[in-house]
């Protein structure tokens, strides 16, 4: 390892479960790969407080500090995804503090400061009421309801709440009650306030005299509706400090069938059988609703989110009174021929919305591995799907290829590989349309729309998916008559 790197680790699902049991933070952003798709990171991520305590445990275990720890500051700037090589890197040091960073896949994700000299003013929090959740289900209070909330979080019961099991060296050095109190800050953010729709921003704690009540108390000092930021004070178990957290936007809900049916002619898409990859949510789910409301049939594919897909099919079929929507598990990285062999209906139209996670953390201008992944998802998979669908059909199939305005100048940062592959997809679509062995492909550069993958803490300008996609679906359905 380089001299400045003092530890390396890959956090696994098992690590997640152990820390969740210790801290009580079971937020699905950390624990559920299906639910995490609909959060800002798009996949399960490591608890920021777990990273902080891992760093402290490493420093104490390896004898690097040389002085008693009096406080910790942590700022969580990027997410650390599971199964990602993660390193702990030493920074500057003086008499009062030691700086460190946590780096995952070459990206600095967490900035840490270990303090050796800090004034403490630990006071008993008083008779705060115990704060509870519904088991492992996070609370989801309205932002305005969070203001001025107070409460007390006890340690998790039983062996899972023992700090010496996960962080034995830190527990001996600063006291197990303080390790537990720091861990409970993760529960505060992930399970209580903001709870379900939360992002942990930063943590600053000082260590002082202990007190008899195990656990930690909290008070919501600030709940800013404009920035969606919460500032919370912590006190108890020899810890005082401050937590900054943010309330994420809730998962994006597309239009319901009543709204869709009001805009689509009852028989507008009669006779259509549309195969919609990645159709369990987002633009694919909206497209399935358009087709079904217009008298057509939608075959919706999913990779992980079967529950989302089943809810969509139930909503559509309840509205139409027939089996307008059926489901198919489909892996865009595997052979289309094998997966489409069980279809009882022959698709007349294709919509390719299946997509890996688009927004990635990277350090290089160009990431060849990411480019290869996007190439498989948006080019190879699409061509394979089109070839198989056309071979099954007796007439020309029509397919939709969703390109993006990000191929144009002015794209967001770190979108190089995505934009390059989508630009190549436009060329591929044009070439396939010239061959009778492939469907006629309709390609559109879609604007940025509000979806699970584009939702951010601070609203950025997006266009309405309903308004954008209905004309696109109509153009795909009439493409043969217009060609």
Indicate the number of domains in the chain: 2
Average pLDDT, the chain: 92
Instruction: Give me 465's structure tokens.
Output: 């998916």
Angle at 41 between CA 35 and CA 44, to 5 degrees: 50
Q: Is the distance from CB of 463 to CB of 449 less than 8 angstroms?
A: yes
Structure confidence at residue 483 (pLDDT): 63
The pTM (predicted TM-score) of the whole model is 0.82
For residues 211-224, give the mean pLDDT. Answer: 90
Query: Is residue 440 a part of any domain in this protein?
Result: yes
Of the candidates 369, 448, 375, the residue with the CA atom closest to the CA atom of residue 418: 375
Structure confidence at residue 62 (pLDDT): 96
Task: Report d(CA 266, CA 171) in Å as an integer.
Answer: 66
**Is residue 458 pLDDT above 50, yes or no?**
no
Query: Is residue 328 a part of any domain in this protein?
Result: yes
Q: In terms of domains, do 230 and 324 share one?
A: no
Structure confidence at residue 120 (pLDDT): 53
Query: Is residue 78 a part of any domain in this protein?
Result: yes
Query: Is residue 85 a part of any domain in this protein?
Result: yes
Q: In terms of domains, do 243 and 310 share one?
A: no
Quickly state the pLDDT bin for 454 (edges 50, 70, 90): low
Q: In terms of domains, do 53 and 185 share one?
A: yes
Domain end point (choices 203, 225, 247): 247
**Is residue 457 pLDDT above 60, yes or no?**
no
For residues 453-472, give the mean pLDDT. Answer: 75
Domain end point (choices 247, 266, 285): 247
For residues 227-251, give the mean pLDDT. Answer: 91
Residue 199's DSSP bridge partners are: 246
Query: Is residue 252 a part of any domain in this protein?
Result: no
Q: In terms of domains, do 214 and 318 share one?
A: no
Domain end point (choices 227, 247, 267): 247
* CATH number of the CATH domain containing 23: 3.10.129.10
Q: In terms of domains, do 188 and 227 share one?
A: yes
Range of the domain at 28: 5-247
C-alpha distances in Å from residue 400, one per residue of 160, 374, 444: 51, 17, 8
Structure confidence at residue 360 (pLDDT): 82
Quickly state the pLDDT bin for 58 (edges 50, 70, 90): very high
Q: In terms of domains, do 197 and 49 share one?
A: yes
Structure confidence at residue 187 (pLDDT): 98
Query: Is residue 423 a part of any domain in this protein?
Result: yes
Query: Is residue 171 a part of any domain in this protein?
Result: yes
Residue 427's DSSP bridge partners are: none
* CATH number of the CATH domain containing 345: 3.40.50.720
For residues 395-417, give the mean pLDDT. Answer: 93
């Amino acid at each position: 390892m380089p001299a400045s790197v003092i530890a390396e680790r890959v956090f696994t699902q098992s690590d997640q479960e152990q820390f969740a049991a210790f801290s009580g933070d079971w937020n699905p952003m950390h624990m559920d790969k299906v639910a995490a798709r609909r959060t800002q990171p798009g996949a399960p991520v490591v608890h920021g407080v777990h990273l902080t305590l891992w760093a402290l445990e490493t420093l104490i275990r390896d004898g690097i500090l040389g002085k008693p720890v009096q406080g910790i500051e942590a700022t969580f700037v990027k997410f650390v995804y599971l199964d990602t090589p993660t390193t702990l890197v030493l920074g500057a040091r003086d008499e009062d503090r030691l700086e460190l960073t946590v780096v995952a896949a070459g990206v600095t994700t967490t900035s840490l400061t270990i303090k050796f000299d800090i004034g403490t003013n630990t006071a008993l929090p008083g008779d705060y009421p115990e704060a509870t959740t519904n088991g492992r289900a996070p609370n989801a209070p309205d932002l305005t309801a969070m203001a001025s909330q107070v409460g007390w979080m006890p340690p998790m019961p039983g062996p899972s709440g023992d700090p010496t099991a996960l962080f034995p060296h830190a527990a001996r050095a600063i006291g197990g009650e303080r390790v537990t109190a720091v861990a409970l800050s993760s529960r505060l953010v992930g399970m209580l306030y903001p709870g379900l729709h939360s992002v942990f921003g930063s943590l600053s704690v000082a260590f002082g005299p202990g007190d008899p009540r195990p656990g930690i108390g909290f008070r919501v000092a600030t709940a800013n509706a404009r920035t969606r930021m919460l500032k919370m004070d912590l006190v108890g178990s020899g810890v005082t400090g401050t937590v900054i957290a943010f309330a994420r936007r809730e998962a994006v809900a597309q239009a319901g069938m009543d709204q869709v049916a009001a805009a689509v002619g009852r028989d507008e898409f009669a006779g259509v059988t549309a195969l919609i990859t990645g159709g369990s949510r987002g633009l694919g789910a909206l497209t399935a609703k358009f087709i079904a409301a217009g008298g057509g049939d939608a075959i919706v594919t999913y990779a992980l989110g079967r529950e989302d897909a089943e809810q969509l099919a139930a909503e559509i079929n309840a509205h139409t009174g027939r089996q307008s929507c059926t489901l198919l598990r489909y892996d865009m990285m595997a052979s289309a021929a094998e997966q489409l062999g069980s279809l009882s209906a022959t698709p007349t139209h294709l919509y390719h919305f299946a997509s890996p996670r688009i927004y990635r953390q990277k350090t290089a201008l160009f990431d060849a591995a990411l480019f290869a992944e996007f190439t498989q998802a948006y080019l190879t998979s699409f061509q394979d799907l089109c070839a198989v669908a056309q071979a099954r059909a007796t007439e020309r199939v029509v397919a939709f290829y969703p390109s993006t305005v990000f191929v144009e100048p002015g794209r967001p940062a770190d979108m190089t590989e995505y934009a390059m592959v989508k630009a190549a997809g436009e060329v591929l679509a044009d070439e396939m349309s010239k061959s009778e062995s492939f469907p006629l492909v309709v390609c559109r550069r879609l604007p940025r729309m509000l979806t699970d993958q584009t939702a951010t803490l601070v609203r950025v300008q997006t266009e309405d998916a309903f308004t954008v996609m209905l004309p696109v679906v109509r153009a795909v359905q009439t493409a043969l008559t217009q060609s």
